[in-house]
Structure 1
Amino acid sequence: MNIRYIPEPSLQFGQGQHLCPKAGIYDYHPYDIGQVRPDKITIGIIGKPEDVDTILEWLRDCKTHIDGKLGKHGAASHPNLFLNFCGFNKEIGFKSEIVYDDGYIRKLNNSDFKDIIEKSSNLESRIEGIADLYLSEIKFLTKNKRPDVILCVLSKNFLSLVQLEENIYEDDYEEDNKGDEATEEDDNGNREQNFRRYLKARAMQYNVPIQMLRESIAKPISGMQDPATIAWNFFTALYYKASGTPWALIRRDSSDSTCYAGISFYRSRDNKTLQTSIAQIFNEVGKGVILRGEEIKVDKYDRTPQMSEDQAFNLMSLSLKEYFDAIKVFPKRLVVHKSSNFSPDEIYGFKQAAKQANIFQIDLVTVMPSNLKLYREGAYPPLRGTHLKLTETRHLLYTRGSVPYFETYPGMYIPGPLEIRLFEHDEAPNLICDEILALTKMNWNNTQFDRKFPITIECARNVGEILKYLHPDDNMQLKYSFYM
């Protein structure tokens, strides 16, 4: 065994490189500056009248500087972690602005909500009824206007009616310790009910990404993130959903191209079938596609979900074809991340699909949580980037932990490492682990860069959560912006 420290990976921005997404955008602007990009983002906005007014006022306030989180004595509290927000305008940072007029504002009647609540016999009918109010206005905006992103504002009282738990703007950051709390079963106990997932799935048919947000983000209460962090996360996600590229991985060689794919399995809402989703097979700048796989049969003696040789081949072949259609070139290298072990059939199927596309460099990597832990002297946990080689094909990697750039450990619980298992690898194990650490920074929904899982795995899970709410004959969107 040997141990090493992987320095925090930098990201590429429009006019320079930086460790931190916030500071990078602040100082060097988005990656796509100087290219075709969303320098104006046209929004639609839907919600109750008082909630819409609150969010519109907040959006106006966010045009200018917002101070970072302050400590107990008024001084900046870990300024690198809680960086002040630069403002969303054309002069600094994103160098973009929000535009809309009264025709893009669609206000829902309080009486319509009350009527649905009184007449709903169970949670499912309540969720579908309220979602229909939003979907009707989404349809209107997409048919009669040209929004880049539609904001669906949810009131605080409304959230309790649909039992929605949305953690995007809350302070509880241990996403890897959470299960699937944001789901409920109906009165018959056999179907998952989740308002956020249902609305995102049903809204896909209108071909415009939606952003759901609470009206309470305008005046954060205890337990929520500070105002500057909320603004950073919201406007980064908004910029990405409007087809912008906030930042990108740094390529080792401009002549090389690497394609990253994440495989994840998800169950149907009634828990009766198991399907697979391949999430965002993408390149270094996050451009790529999402596809839905076939139903998986689970062996009664081995409950680990696995694809057949044909399923693995078909899924990867179709994914690479869609990737080519989007990027206009096949990659030279394919990296596949999966949250469970690769079976021999899966390995053969993936390799054959890669070979068919003239890709001869392939890495098949399992990325999963580990119960093993390392300890260091002092009060702080191991550094993020700590890499322990157990064997040539088994490694431990701390993607959460103490972060020198933040000058603290920004978590609430003792972090655990990921276990990295190399089933097939043409690249060096050290480089594969370096990439996994860098890929944890490619989540455009959150600007605190010490995520636990690489975007390949995190995206795959998010996609599966939404896909289960689509009917088999529904068209799905290929872009990740519809699932975040």
Structure 2
Amino acid sequence: MKQWRVVHIEEPELEFAHGQTAAHPKDGLFLYGPPSSNYNPRRMEVGIIATEEGARLYSAWVRSVKGAIAPPETGKEANKYMWPGFQAAFGAEWSDVPFGYCKVEADEISKAIRTGTRHEGIYSTVDIYEQALRKHLREEEASPKMWFAIIPEEVYTYGRPLSVVPGAERIESPRGIKKAAAIRLIKQPTMFDAINEEARPFEFEANFHNQLKARLLDTGKVIQVVRETTLSTERDSKLRRRSLQDPASVAWNLGATAFYKSSGTPWRLAHVREGVCYVGLVFKKLEAARGRDNACCGAQMFLNTGEGVVFRGAVGPWYSDRDGSFKLDRVQAARLMTMIVEGYKDIHGKPPKELFIHGKIEFGDEEWAGFTSTVPPETNLVGVQIRRQNEVKLFRFGQNAVLRGTAIVVDERLAYLWTAGYIPRLETYPGREVPNPLTVRVRRGDATIEIVLQDLMALTKLNYNSAGFSDGLPVTLRFADLVGEILTAGPDAGSARLPFRHYI
């Protein structure tokens, strides 16, 4: 019987300005700044869709992040980082005067979010923000690279699927249609447009964040949804700031994602193989399925530079009620892979040398045949199944958790990888429970298991939605559910290809 091997995957390095490297994004940005890129903004062109109060909070917050912010005195050691100021970290100016301002009325929002069912209330509230932006795009010359959709706390409270508006605050719906009747209308529309229109809100997901992004994908504008309470500063007397994150951490995280969504590259992977492409499969079951078409498919492509592109596939019978799995047929798998390879060629001028597909489930025979049918012969195609599990535990002597990067190699195609664990750079394990590993299995194609593990460790450091040290999942799967929700948040939401920054 072959013995299992315990190995350690070294912490991947990130690249910053002047070719300098560091393991932590905050270290690299603090010391060197972002890596050179023709797309890095020199000034932040940020527009806002906000109430008068939201606009005031935005300007106050931007003024606060222009200067240094001290680290928190209490809390986890991993979060005790000072903020050096936005220009010091990213080399770009950020004016506290928004580059564009779409004003929305607080009273109108308050009424809309409380009207009818959650589908109706959220649909009406999204409509306020959507129409404000579309009016600006039609009538104004200023064209910000990204937009902050700043929402009052009540939109966050009542703008989610399971939220409930108290009876005393609830406003009767002018439509009067029930959800079950609306779903029937969506599946089998009548000949009368006025009747069909009553079901319109139920075609969209009852989630403000996802629905807003889905309904604005066609504009090509990048949206960052921000709560007013996130922007409130300690000096604000009118609005008490939520205590989930300290001001320095908010500045790091929101600053990094704003720079990225303004076409910047906050950091990129260092020491990577040339010509490697990583793809995460995205599936989402449809709530109001028409006939056999019960799910939407898509893919996220990531490069070593941190660039990401989302490809929308077809709606079809991809979901199986029998085992709860998703699988494409041969035709749609080939179509999706063609988009991926062509997308890579558009960026690099040639097909990838290696293409890794990451999925949470096994790859079906017909599905894999479709993938391989359109991949150039010079590209090594590999299918890797990655899933969380709690069947295997590993403990160290002493009080500290297992070291991040520890792996148990079972054989040349199977390993357990701890992407969460004790991090020497932070001198702590930033978690509460005993860390569980990822089960990593090379299901299709051929690749050295240690190289697959090294790649996965590197991909845990490409989450530009925060400036944290790392994630527990590689970016190929970290946002798969969110991307799927936005792709299916409305009828025909999205296009065949958009940069990843539009979805997170």
* TM-score of Structure 1 vs Structure 2, range by shorter chain: 0.7 to 0.9
Q: Percent identity?
A: 27
1:58 aligns with 2:64: no
How far apart, in 1, do the equivalents of 2:154 and 2:322 lie? Answer: 47
Asked whether the 8 Å contact 1:373–1:416 carries over to 2, the reply is yes
Q: Hey, what does 2:362 align to over in structure 1? A: 341
Q: Does 1:211 align with 2:224?
A: yes
Kept in 1, the 8 Å contact 2:214–2:493? The answer is no
Whole-angstrom CA distance in 2 between matches of 1:19 and 1:259: 22
Q: CA deviation at 1:477?
A: 5.2
CA 1:302–1:133: 2 relative to 1, 3 Å: closer
Q: Could you say which residue in structure 2 is the equivalent of 1:42?
A: 45
Matches within 5 A, 1:10-25: 10-15=13-18, 16-25=20-29
Residue in structure 2 matched with residue 390 of structure 1 by the alignment: 410
Shift of 1:350: 1.9
- Give how far 1:315 is off: 1.1
> Which amino acid in structure 2 is aligned with residue 361 of structure 1?
N
Partner of 1:93: 89
Shift in Å, 1:96: 0.6
Task: Report the TM-score when normalising by structure 2.
Answer: 0.84
Measure the CA separation in 2 of the matches of 1:157 and 1:334: 44
What is the CA distance between 1:324 and its match in structure 2? 1.7
Residue of structure 2 in register with 1:266 after alignment: 284
- Separation in 2 of the partners of 1:298 and 1:93? 45
> What is the rounded CA distance, in whole Å, between the counterparts of 1:303 and 1:225 in structure 2?
37
Q: Which residue of 2 aligns with 1:427?
A: 447
Q: Is the 8 A contact 1:288 1:323 kept in 2?
A: no
Where do residues 323-338 of structure 1 align in structure 2 (5 Å cutoff)? 323-338=344-359
Partners of 2:378 and 2:14 in 1: how far apart? 26
Amino acid at match of 1:141: H
- Residue of structure 2 equivalent to 1:279: 299
> Larger radius of gyration, structure 1 or 2?
2
- RMSD value, Cα: 2.4
Alignment of 1:59-458 (within 5 A): 59-71=62-74, 78=77, 81-89=79-87, 92-99=88-95, 101=97, 104-117=100-113, 120-143=115-138, 144=140, 145-163=142-160, 188=180, 192-217=205-230, 218-219=232-233, 221=241, 223-253=243-273, 256-270=274-288, 273-294=293-314, 295-299=316-320, 301-354=322-375, 357-371=376-390, 372-458=392-478
Find the aligned partners of 2:105 and 2:124 in 1 and give their Cα distance.
Answer: 13
Q: 1:338-387: CA deviations, max 9, x gaps?
A: 11111222232222222xx3433222101111122222222222111110
Q: CA deviation at 1:279?
A: 3.1
What is the TM-score when the length of structure 1 is the normalising length? 0.87
Distance 2:449 2:308 in 1: 25
- Confirm whether residue 8 of structure 1 aligns to residue 11 of structure 2: yes
Distance 1:257 1:4, change over 3 A: same
Distance 2:272 2:98 in 1: 47
**Uncovered stretches (5+) of structure 1, i.e. residues with no partner:** 167-185
- Check 1:26–1:165 CA distance in 2 against 1; reply closer, same or farther (3 A cut): farther
The count of corresponding residues between Structure 1 and Structure 2 is 452
Structure 1 Cα separation of the partners of residues 223 and 319 of structure 2: 35
Deviates more, 1:401-410 or 1:63-72: 63-72
Amino acid at match of 2:68: H
Give the Cα separation in 2 of the matches to 1:165 and 1:481.
27
Tell me the residue number matched to 1:174: none
Please name the residue that 2:195 is paired with: none
Q: Read off the aligned partner of 1:360 and give its amino acid letter.
A: T
Q: Is the 1:85–1:231 contact (alpha carbons within 8 Å) kept by the matching residues of 2?
A: yes
2 CA distance for matches of 1:152 and 1:215?
Answer: 10
How far the C-alpha of 1:155 sits from its partner, in A, is: 1.4
The residue identity in structure 2 corresponding to 1:123 is R
Q: CA deviation at 1:68?
A: 1.4
Shift of 1:258: 0.5
